[in-house]
């Protein structure tokens, strides 16, 4: 049976939206806006603002604001990149790591309720396939 890709996309999108919406309050208690959370979650993998903006599909302009807020909140620190003075390497503070991990745990808890419906084997299958889908174009 072939399922329409658009329908799959739409349902999937709704699922993620609902899960995220359910976590918004918990994130706020940690002192994180939704988008700031995305930034915090990925900054270790992509420490430069421009790179991070591209990965998260948001503008550099927005990234400037999120980084400013996260620095002000003490979750992030800017370090000068000696190799390229245009760039600033973003580093998680101890508080940043703590907040990120708590936030990820909150999201995981929300999504886990859904994931309980599939087997652990299917979970790693899903992760493998999603990674393959994202791989080439990051």
Partner DNA sequence: ACGTACTAGTTCGGTCTCGAACTATCTCAG
Partner DNA sequence: CTGAGATAGTTCGAGACCGAACTAGTACGT
| Residue 84 makes contact with DNA by CB under 7 A | yes
| Residue 56 makes contact with its own copies by CB under 8 A | yes
Q: Are 108 and 121 in contact (CB under 8 A)?
A: no
Within residues 65-94, the interface with its own copies by CB under 8 A covers none
Residue 62 CB, shortest distance to DNA, in Å, is: 3
The single-letter DSSP state of residue 88 is E
Sign of CA dihedral 17, 130, 66, 41: positive
What would the two tokens of residue 133 be? Answer: 């889908």
DSSP class per residue in 37-87: HHHHHHTTT--SHHHHHHHHT--HHHHHHHHHHHHHTTSEEEEE-TT-TT-
Residue 7 CB, shortest distance to its own copies, in Å, is: 7
Residue 81 CB, shortest distance to DNA, in Å, is: 7
Q: Are 82 and 89 in contact (CB under 8 A)?
A: no
| Residue 61 makes contact with its own copies by CB under 8 A | no
| Residue 138 makes contact with its own copies by CB under 8 A | yes
Q: For DNA, which is the closer residue by CB, 85 or 116?
A: 85
| Residue 98 makes contact with DNA by CB under 7 A | no
Residues binding its own copies (CB under 8 A): 1-21, 38, 41-42, 55-57, 104-105, 107-109, 111-112, 114-115, 117-118, 120, 122-127, 129-138
């Amino acid at each position: 049976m072939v399922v329409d890709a658009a329908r799959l996309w739409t349902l999937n999108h709704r699922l993620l939206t609902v899960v995220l919406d359910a976590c918004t309050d918990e994130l706020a208690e940690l002192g994180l806006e939704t988008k700031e959370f995305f930034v915090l979650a990925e900054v270790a993998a992509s420490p430069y603002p421009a790179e991070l903006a591209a990965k998260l599909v948001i503008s550099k302009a927005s990234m400037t604001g999120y980084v400013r807020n996260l620095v002000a909140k003490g979750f992030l620190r800017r370090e000068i990149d000696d190799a390229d003075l245009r760039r600033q390497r973003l580093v998680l503070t101890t508080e940043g790591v703590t907040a990120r991990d708590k936030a990820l745990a909150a999201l995981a808890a929300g999504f886990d309720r859904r994931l309980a419906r599939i087997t652990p084997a299917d979970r790693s299958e899903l992760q493998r396939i999603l990674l393959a889908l994202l791989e080439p174009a990051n």
